[in-house]
Structure 1
Amino acid sequence: MTKQSMTALLEQMTLEEKIFQLMQLTPNFLSEDDANLTGPLAWMGVTENMVNNAGSVLSAVGAKETIALQKKYMENSRLGIPLLLMADIIHGYRTIFPVTLAIGSTWDLELAEKSAAIAAKESAVTGIHVTFAPMVDLVRDPRWGRVMESTGEDPYLNSEYARAFVRGFQGDDLAGDLDRVAACVKHFAAYGAAEGGRDYNTVNMSERQLRESYLPAYKAALDEGCEMVMTAFNTVDGIPATGNKWLMRNLLRDEWGFDGMLISDWGAVGEMIPHGVAADGKEAALKAIEAGVDMEMMTSHYANHLKELVEAGEVDVKLIDESVLRILKLKDKLGLFENPYRAASEEREKEVLLSPEHRAAAREIAAKSFVLLKNEQQALPLRSGQKLALIGPFAESGDILGPWSIWGKQEETVQLHAGLSAHKAADIVAVAKGSDIDAVTEEQLQEAVAAASQADVIVLALGESSEMSGEAGSRGDIRLPEAQLELIRKLKPLGKPIVVVLFNGRPLDLHGVIEEADALLEVWFPGTEGGNAIADVLFGDVNPSGRLTMSFPYSVGQVPVYYNNYNTGRPLTPQNANERYVSKYLDMPNAPLLPFGYGLSYTSFSYGEATLSTDVMNVGDTLRVSVDVTNTGAAAGEEVVQLYVRDLAGEVVRPLKELKGFRKLAIQPGETQTVTFEITEEQLRYYHADLQLKSDAGEFHVFVGPNSRDAEAKSFRLTK
């Protein structure tokens, strides 16, 4: 349909029909069950007329249900306006990929895009039109449970992943490619900066910090063509995002030029009341529509109050028309007016969901996401002929999909025991649970010791349950539960090599684990093919190449701790480490236990000295930075070569390092490859005190290395 026909359709709608298009409900509201009349319908003040004209439904399951919902809805639609079906497809629909933080750890944008494309295909065939992803919130506090949905602490890397996920979900032709879905970037804005790492909590920062660190990834997603934006639960400069006119109208609409659809998060319009910026639902509706929120998710303040506000002259009907038109345009872009059911197909669903091709991709991406954090005495890879005892609460657990794997099924998941048993080199002589996630009995410990005594190597499967991270999964103590630390202490005196396989959704305080383990493999929540992928890495079929995209703290007392921090007027240095009056802790180091970009391999790499094409760079020039990287070990491997820059004297303080590029190289034993990065003046810009994006003339340091910590500086000057 044309823009003119959309406008003509809008003109045919009554005010109530327009307002009801701004409502999103769950499928049970459209159910014919009489219980709805005294349950959800009555509780939310929703009438049958509202339901029949609601613009969207979220979280319908499967082609059978989505087709039935759309059919019933179209039968009741006076103007033939189709229903928009949305869902949280975060890191897979039925084929579950590793959690997003793990996908970030691959440092592989093509694999990230591939995971999103497969998730889109599987969800599209079930009838879903929009996914509430990607989540691109920058996170520096691992106490926050939703870190598992993020790609970490760096604005540049997050931006690159935001683009990759949008490309994967939407493809090049959203209208013509029915295996794609519209993407919705979230949570706008700065949701990952909640104080204390406590979900839904206050966010408070300067506009310069917001623009420099937290906004770039949202902007990157929109520049890639992302169709939708979701508001955040938190405040921005003292005003909840969902009612923040500066954030949504001035910045998102006017400055960035976004004219797509903006949806609230679940109940966020109504949450302005407990936030304390709206006295009641009527005022909440007023503030949300004035801020530019097009669709209200799971509260009915628009439906119950906008008509009254328009008739009283408090809301201009043009605001409602703008929102409705954006919703209609998205429905049209998805081809729903011509085919309301789009790609939904019960028959094709059987072929697509969890197909062998999709399982293979999940296995590959999982293996590439694992980060080898420690490997002493060549404990890994495991060797043929070694007798293994598999011990721990995750030895035979299917709870390895992560908290946002809504449509994944544990019974379809390859757990660790099954994955190891299927490997030709495996000789598992004993299996024991050892402990529960957060409780242990003496009987369990004795069983674990007996199992370990039969083996040459202990494979210890530890971690968090999925309920310990994700939304509302904030933790004040991010160590492993004491029960699992007790299990390690019980097994350590046996003197057997201990290989820890760690399942979790966030960076942890690893004390009690890392010093006791001979090898430590971080596998996150690895998804449907987790067990097979872990076996691939433990036995050396795949050389681990994952690198951290978020620092692991030495202690929760350091949090937030991140690589791209500022210096102080009294910085801690090796020379003044024994002085008191410098910026340091008395009881722990300043640096994280494991830095951003860190990860080991089964081989070793050496870096030559970086060379610069010039030590004086003029505006308009391109500075080339080259380094030789050699595989000095006996195995083929992949190395993530990372480029960082520091502005030594800015108008405002600058980070000690900022990631500006990376390259993932596959290098054979004895082979040397040369990597060349390019730096332009544009990459050296930042937001000054006047919030203008520009660069400074002066001295810069450039670093090339395997992580944010281990890199030598080279200098150049920018002249203007």
Structure 2
Amino acid sequence: MLFTQCNNPVSENENTYLDIDKRANDLLQQMTLEEKIFLLGGYESDGMRSNGIERLGIPKLNMANGPHGLGGIDDATFFAGGVSFGATWNPELVEEVGKAIGAEARFADKHIMLGPCVNIHRLPIGGRNFESYSEDPFLTSKIGVAWIKGVQSMNVAACVKHYAGNEQEFERNGVNVEMDERTLREIHLPAFKAAVQEANTYTVMSAYNRFRGSYASENDYLLNKVLRDDFGFTGFVISDWDATHSCVPSALGGLDMEMPGPPMYFGDSLMIAVKNKEVSVQIIDQKVINILKIMIKLGILDDYSKMPKGEIGTDYHKMLSRKVTEQSVVLLKNACLPGQDNQILPLNKEKIKSIAILGPKAEEASLGGGGSSEVFAKDSISLIEGLRNKLGADVEITFLNGIDFTTEFPAIESKNLYTEIDGKEVNGLTGVYYNNVHLHGEPVLTRVDKDVNFDWGQGSPDPKVVKDGFSVRWSGKLKATKEGMYKIGINSNDGSKLFVNGKLFVHNWGNHGAKMRSAPLYMKTGETVDVMIEYFETGNSASMKFEWELQQKAKYNKEVLKLAEKADLVIIAAGLTKIFECEGFDRASMDLPGAQNEMIKDVSKVNPNTIVILTNGTPVTMIDWIDDIPAVLEAFYPGQEEGNALADILFGDVNPSGKLPVTFPKHYEDSPAYKFYPGENSQLTYSEGIYVGYRYYDTKNVEPLFPFGFGLSYTTFEYSNLKIDKKEIDKEDILNIELTVKNTGKVDGDEVVQLYIHDIESKVDRPEKELKGFKRVSL
């Protein structure tokens, strides 16, 4: 095996660059100022397209989420979540996945895929961690580069996100992130730098948060100084949706395209700014050139119809999805039962006559957390289906969920809602209705709605309001009648946002069917908070519900114990869902929601022959039961082939080979960023510095539950003959490291060899170890 540590930027033929520059400039000369500015914004009637210039044959750019599959399209392949890509430690496989996603994007006539997500796992409760790859910048860089190369090889642009400092969802729309330059450059920027210099990403998405005082979409330091001057980025910068907050600062700060449309700032406001000489025509021209050059590279200004159409949901894509799952599942524990010599896994189906499958994650495939990254899978195989496919009628399979994950709460009653009319307090919320989707202009109706619990179907809220393309803003106060932790949700078709005391609390925006998003809020008896709900509807069905539930002590169905006691084997499918792990909010804790921990512990007492399979995107607390369970598999979010892949792993047809891309701490309080989260007064400082993840645990001698890079196998490996080709190196040298890896067990398996370094003579503090190379081998 050979490790070579060297980073070479991707280069393109200089003549190609000259041709592209000439074509882009020729088009620019034909455009009016109005057309140039028009090109810098989103299309008014579709939140996922940019404007085009039909007169000049410049098409709209069609965009789609997401990081682990083509969003918004039926029949797309739902690959495992981003954290699963990290757990494969296999850039070559991820590049193939990128090609498949690119092919599906081509099939759907999409020009830009909004991914990959390369933010660092700073917190074990990060609501969007499941989309990104790792706590380590080197591993994140390698996986992200592979994804981008794969997608862009299909003439589809990647859009690496979220640049930069978007490591938490709490207050993401306004929190100001502060970190020192070393932390920025060593931990949080390397994956973006690699995306530019190694993968030549065509677009970059600016984040929601502020960085050192300025919003990311207007941040001159991030977008101009670092991205363009330091990294050499030549593509264009797209704002995250509704993440633009200014006209002139954004134009001068390096933003090229405001999304979605119609633009709030890169439209009429930008035209006025140019005419007032606040923004030069040269700056506008450069933004247009940035966009046109990418269009030319993609071939969409040529006869795009002659390019291969692409394909979607193919058998090959299913195979790739299954392979990612097989290579990303991490075997965390595999012990012997008392009095037995063999580890519990792999299972021998000849010795098993009955299996009790318990828990909330068995009946449906675990397709990921919530938010913009969701994919509509053509086919998905649950754990139960996979086991039944594997075992047929030879083994009796029984199932009981045992855990109630409430997906819908009661509507908040009028008695808990208050607003003021003519100086008097009345029950309900004030609703202001607009005949547009942007909450702009003169309202057509203002009234007090006793509650917000509407299902208008394909009708209208009022004869004054249009049936399609309206928006509403409700405002008032919410009062708690009992003390406790409330889950407060908004369930809407299409988009909605909930603000509490003036701050965004739940984000459920976008064109989508009925979908609920919620977040926890602790309230005392009689406590009142200001609430505002924004809602829009574009067409077809319309509904909006403001709901809550007071959280009670979780219980599980004790019938699971009876099933467990009777079965030869128990498999508990536990974990998280998009209700608990979602864009827009962070998890409240590391604990498994509901009474899952209690159920696992109690089941292990009645049947020690119990296996736990976890499906989740972030670490969960296991300390209460890990010693009582002989085998634990961490499957993360395994994608649409979950059931088939897990069945093969359980019964030994596939040897588990995933390695943790994040540290699993024993307790949330052990994590390095715990005491700095979530910041104060919308100010967040990354005071842990470079000591993120294993860099902290190893250096500070804090023992985790499972360390970064950990993962067991059904076989064993032996390392020998380590050779390093230089005893001394300069900073520009390439260091070659060779070693021999031998499979010393009885079955085939994959090993991930990991190379770490430590600078023993550094003039500054360095972590105990830092990942600088890895290689997956099959033996």
Asked if TM exceeds 0.5, the reply is yes
Structure 1 residue 108, shift from structure 2 partner: 0.8
1:359-398 equivalent positions in 2, closer than 5 A: 359-377=318-336, 378-385=343-350, 386=352, 387-398=354-365
Structure 1 residue 11, shift from structure 2 partner: 2.6
CA-to-aligned-CA distance 1:611-642 (integer Å, 9 cap, x gap): 55565556776655444433332222111111
| Candidates 80, 98, 105, aligned match of 2:87 | 105
Query: Identical aligned pairs, as a percentage?
Result: 37
Which piece of structure 1 moves more, 332-341 or 114-123?
332-341
| Candidates 212, 235, 241, aligned match of 2:210 | 235
Higher strand content, 1 or 2 = 2
CA-to-aligned-CA distance 1:325-384 (integer Å, 9 cap, x gap): 222222222222233667696xx7xxx321111111111111111001111111211111
Residues 523 and 113 of structure 1, relative CA distance in 2, 3 Å threshold: same
1:661-676 equivalent positions in 2, closer than 5 A: 661-667=773-779
Structure 1 residue 319, shift from structure 2 partner: 0.9
Q: Which residue does 2:294 correspond to in 1? A: 330
1:537-576 equivalent positions in 2, closer than 5 A: 537-560=649-672, 562-565=693-696
Q: Which residue does 1:645 correspond to in 2? A: 757
CA-to-aligned-CA distance 1:546-572 (integer Å, 9 cap, x gap): 00111111111022361123988xx65
Q: Which residue does 2:125 correspond to in 1? A: 143
Residues 28 and 196 of structure 1, relative CA distance in 2, 3 Å threshold: closer
Matched, 1:633 2:742: no
CA-to-aligned-CA distance 1:205-257 (integer Å, 9 cap, x gap): 11122111211111111122111111112222222211111211122122222
Asked whether the equivalents of residues 644 and 657 of structure 1 are also in contact (C-alpha less than 8 Å), the reply is yes
2:195, 2:183 → 1: CA distance? 19
2:402, 2:221 → 1: CA distance? 54
Structure 1 residue 593, shift from structure 2 partner: 1.4
Residues 511 and 221 of structure 1, relative CA distance in 2, 3 Å threshold: same
Residues 96 and 180 of structure 1, relative CA distance in 2, 3 Å threshold: farther
Q: Which residue does 1:413 correspond to in 2? A: 380
Q: Secondary structure at the match of 2:204?
A: strand
Which piece of structure 1 moves more, 557-566 or 619-628?
619-628
1:620, 1:293 → 2: CA distance? 34
Asked whether the equivalents of residues 641 and 663 of structure 1 are also in contact (C-alpha less than 8 Å), the reply is yes
Unaligned runs of 5+ residues in structure 1 are 30-55, 59-72, 172-178, 271-283, 573-589, 668-720
CA-to-aligned-CA distance 1:487-517 (integer Å, 9 cap, x gap): 2133122133111111111122222342332
Which piece of structure 1 moves more, 433-442 or 476-485?
433-442
- The TM-score, its normalising length taken from structure 2, stands at 0.70
Q: Which residue does 2:244 correspond to in 1? A: 269
1:175-214 equivalent positions in 2, closer than 5 A: 179-192=154-167, 194=168, 201-214=175-188
Matched, 1:430 2:398: yes
Counterpart AA for 1:486: E
Asked whether the equivalents of residues 188 and 231 of structure 1 are also in contact (C-alpha less than 8 Å), the reply is yes
Structure 1 residue 542, shift from structure 2 partner: 0.5
- The TM-score, its normalising length taken from structure 1, stands at 0.76
Higher helix content, 1 or 2 = 1
Q: Which residue does 1:274 correspond to in 2? A: none
Asked whether the equivalents of residues 153 and 549 of structure 1 are also in contact (C-alpha less than 8 Å), the reply is yes
1:595, 1:197 → 2: CA distance? 30
2:593, 2:165 → 1: CA distance? 30
1:9, 1:260 → 2: CA distance? 17
2:97, 2:725 → 1: CA distance? 38
Q: Which residue does 1:90 correspond to in 2? A: 67
Counterpart AA for 2:765: V
Asked whether the equivalents of residues 499 and 518 of structure 1 are also in contact (C-alpha less than 8 Å), the reply is yes
CA-to-aligned-CA distance 1:153-209 (integer Å, 9 cap, x gap): 1121111112211111011xxxxxxx44111111112322x4989786432111122
CA-to-aligned-CA distance 1:414-449 (integer Å, 9 cap, x gap): 111111100047624311112123799999623312
Asked whether the equivalents of residues 551 and 562 of structure 1 are also in contact (C-alpha less than 8 Å), the reply is yes
Structure 1 residue 121, shift from structure 2 partner: 0.4
1:360, 1:468 → 2: CA distance? 29
Matched, 1:356 2:315: yes
Residues 198 and 519 of structure 1, relative CA distance in 2, 3 Å threshold: farther
Identify the structure with bigger relative contact order (alpha carbons < 8 Å, sequence gap 6+).
Answer: 2
Counterpart AA for 1:397: E
Q: Secondary structure at the match of 2:62?
A: strand
Q: Which residue does 1:698 correspond to in 2? A: none
Q: Which residue does 2:638 correspond to in 1? A: 526
Query: Once superposed, what is the RMSD of the aligned Cα atoms?
Result: 2.8
Structure 1 residue 300, shift from structure 2 partner: 1.7
Q: Secondary structure at the match of 1:564?
A: helix
Asked whether the equivalents of residues 199 and 474 of structure 1 are also in contact (C-alpha less than 8 Å), the reply is no
1:671-686 equivalent positions in 2, closer than 5 A: none
Matched, 1:22 2:40: yes
Q: Which residue does 1:130 correspond to in 2? A: 112
Q: Secondary structure at the match of 2:102?
A: helix
Q: Which residue does 1:305 correspond to in 2? A: 269
Matched, 1:260 2:391: no
Residues 616 and 330 of structure 1, relative CA distance in 2, 3 Å threshold: closer
CA-to-aligned-CA distance 1:668-699 (integer Å, 9 cap, x gap): xxxxxxxxxxxxxxxxxxxxxxxxxxxxxxxx
2:750, 2:173 → 1: CA distance? 36
Counterpart AA for 1:183: A
Matched, 1:77 2:42: no
Q: Which residue does 1:57 correspond to in 2? A: 49
Matched, 1:448 2:560: yes
Matched, 1:487 2:449: no
Residues 620 and 248 of structure 1, relative CA distance in 2, 3 Å threshold: closer
Asked whether the equivalents of residues 555 and 595 of structure 2 are also in contact (C-alpha less than 8 Å), the reply is no
Which piece of structure 1 moves more, 360-369 or 433-442?
433-442
Residues 180 and 337 of structure 1, relative CA distance in 2, 3 Å threshold: closer
1:149, 1:135 → 2: CA distance? 6
Q: Secondary structure at the match of 2:665?
A: coil
Counterpart AA for 1:564: R
CA-to-aligned-CA distance 1:112-139 (integer Å, 9 cap, x gap): 1111110110111111001111111222
Q: Secondary structure at the match of 1:363?
A: helix
Asked whether the equivalents of residues 143 and 196 of structure 1 are also in contact (C-alpha less than 8 Å), the reply is no
Counterpart AA for 1:357: Y
Residues 623 and 21 of structure 1, relative CA distance in 2, 3 Å threshold: closer
Structure 1 residue 84, shift from structure 2 partner: 0.8
Structure 1 residue 604, shift from structure 2 partner: 2.1
Q: Which residue does 1:294 correspond to in 2? A: 256
